[in-house]
Amino acid sequence: MAFQNLSVCPSCRKTNRVPAKHLADTGRCGSCKARLAPVSEPIAVDSNSLLPIIQEAAVPILVDFWAPWCGPCLAAAPEVEAVAKEMAGRALVLKVDTQEHPELAELYQIQSIPYFLVFRGGKQFSQSTGAADRWEMRLWLERAGARMD
């Protein structure tokens, strides 16, 4: 089955399934037809969800590879959250916990964290290692084609 994110309607509190290709879109609740905003926070992903999102998303994607024991990763986390909120509807932000999912770190040959990959059109566009601020992350996404607002 393809990846689907769950979104709770702010109006009626019903849960809606959102396919990967529509995570950055404004939608409508299946029950009350209220507006559902695009994803505006980092999405924790695993081996089953990372590739489908990368392949199906119509917007650039920033993937943050991190671990709970990593000080620089924890310091970068508020910046990652801020860029997800600022770029909602124009880009997606994913988080991979390399402690829980070492197979994904191995797949992308990640040797140190925090490590950031940007994808566009299902393909890796850029990469960066070390902590970064939200302005730098935003620039990466804009270079990958995210609309500038």
Q: Write the DSSP symbol of residue 130.
A: S
**How far apart are the C-alpha atoms of 74 and 114, rounded to whole Å?**
9
Residue 134's φ and ψ, nearest 5 degrees, are: -60, -30
Give 84's contacts (C-beta < 8 A, 6+ positions apart): 39, 40, 41, 42, 92, 93
Percentage helix, strand, coil, to 5, in the chain? 30, 30, 45
Active-site position among 9, 29, 32, 73: 73
Active site residue 9: no
**How far apart are the C-alpha atoms of 125 and 117, rounded to whole Å?**
8
Active site residue 73: yes
Strand 43-44, strand 35-36: pairing:
unpaired
**Catalytic residue IDs:** 70, 73
